[in-house]
Amino acid sequence: MFVVVDNENLDAVPDQVKIPYQPSEEVPAVITTHQALLEYADKLALGTGPLALDAERASGYTYSQRAYLIQMRREGAGTALVDPISCPDLSPIAKASVGVEWILHAATQDLECLREVGLSPDSLFDTELAGRILGCDRVGLGPLIESELGLYLEKGHGAADWSARPLSPAMLRYAALDVELLVELRNSLEESLREANKLEFAHQEFTALLSWKPREHTGEAWRRTSGVHGVKNPRARAVVRELWITRDDIARRRDVAPGRLIPDRAIIAAALSNPADVLLKVKDFHGRGAVRYERQWKSALERARSLPESELPGPPPKSDGLPSPKSWIDKNPAAFARLEVVRGSLAEVSELLSIPVENLMTPDLVRRASWMDPVEDESSYRDLFTGGGARDWQCEIVVPIVFAARHAQPRPVQAEPVQAEPAEQPDPGEQ
């Protein structure tokens, strides 16, 4: 049973006694036909204000990161739940939303899968990023709605398998609520940003998101297997590689998350134990995927064992990037000194502005600026930052900090104090 609570003090109230926000209208039926999509697109074009969007994927269940449900809401058009599997052509939605601001929460999680179905914003407002710039303690959608609007969203199906069909009524209700309050949240956050003199910071961040792309991994993908750094033997590394490639091929063909077939730890266990015959006896190498594809796993193991020495994978190639800061004190003491000063200054500014350090400047760019030989012109640091994607507001704050730290000197190594020899005590027997 729920009890009425004071919305202004939601943070202090246990979830069990909060009153969940109820949808303002009936949850709409999922759009699964092109005709229904066209009808909603017509409403969307006649609507007013920004467009709230969200996408549900099936991370942890499927190989692909495609969207399996897309939610949208605009004043005058209401809420729509679109099945992009049944309606792969979303061009009517794209046309109806040209020039309309999008509202997304944690945009980098959804932009790529939305682009895959032809949806890309002309401008956007990211409510999670706005919360970070404001220095909010919690920036999840639910906590932000609580702190900004005084309403409580029930937690539920965010990690569910959205590729399953049919979707349950509870899942559809959860999906509809994800966009119902986004416009109100956006407006409240914008006002908070304005009051904190951070609205321009946010606008620059949102503009940068329009050209955001996921980071491209370099090198051989199998080397990212969790725990592979502990596999030193070349033949064992070959086992990791062949099992990983086999798993990836099966997962891609069946659109199953690789970890649901066999986890990384099973691959590492097989590589380290080098089973002579029965692979399924290896620790962690069990479960449905292990049994169902036992023949493929055995074939991969046999391939690894039969490779000539010349074809065995070597150790990881040396990175082209900077060495780990842990080694700087020996490799480049001056750079280490600069990095310490910069980090300390950034921590102070972060606290003063209530902006997380990582949002002031990406850690990689901070390290690169600290590694640089000292220069007598701030423009060199600004060029480094802007070339790495930093925004003007970030440069205005961080460039002077790095420039001021350019001549920082390593702390002198203090010698261990010499302990005085204790005075020799007379033998009691001699007294």
Q: For the chain, give every domain's residue range.
A: 7-209, 221-311, 325-404
Contacts of residue 387, defined as CB under 8 A and 6 or more positions apart, other chains included, come to: none
Question: Given this model, what pLDDT does residue 426 score?
Answer: 47
Question: Given this model, what pLDDT does residue 273 score?
Answer: 87
| Residue 154 backbone dihedrals phi, psi, to 5 degrees | -65, 135
Contacts of residue 324, defined as CB under 8 A and 6 or more positions apart, other chains included, come to: none
pLDDT tens-digit profile of 165-202? 999 999 999 999 999 999 999 999 999 999 999 999 99
d(C-alpha 324, C-alpha 322), whole Å: 6
Question: Given this model, what pLDDT does residue 301 score?
Answer: 92
Does the domain at 7-209 match CATH 3.30.420.10? Answer given as: yes
Domains 7-209 and 325-404 alike in fold: no
Question: Given this model, what pLDDT does residue 4 score?
Answer: 34
Question: Given this model, what pLDDT does residue 3 score?
Answer: 31
Is 265 exposed, middle or buried, given 0-12, 13-18 or 19+ CB atoms closer than 10 A?
A: middle
CA atoms lying within 13 Å on the CB side of residue 27: 19
Matching CATH number, 221-311, of 1.20.1440.230, 1.10.150.80, 3.40.190.10, 3.40.50.1000: 1.10.150.80
Centre a 10 Å sphere on the Cβ of residue 350 and count the other Cβ atoms it contains: 17
Question: Given this model, what pLDDT does residue 5 score?
Answer: 41
CATH topology of domain 325-404: DNA polymerase; domain 1 (1.10.150)
- Cα distances (Å, whole numbers) of residue 362 to 23, 106, 356, 398: 39, 17, 11, 11
Residues of the chain under the 70 pLDDT cut:
1-17, 275-278, 413-431
Contact 307, 238 (CB under 8 A): yes
The tokens of 320 are what? 């082209």
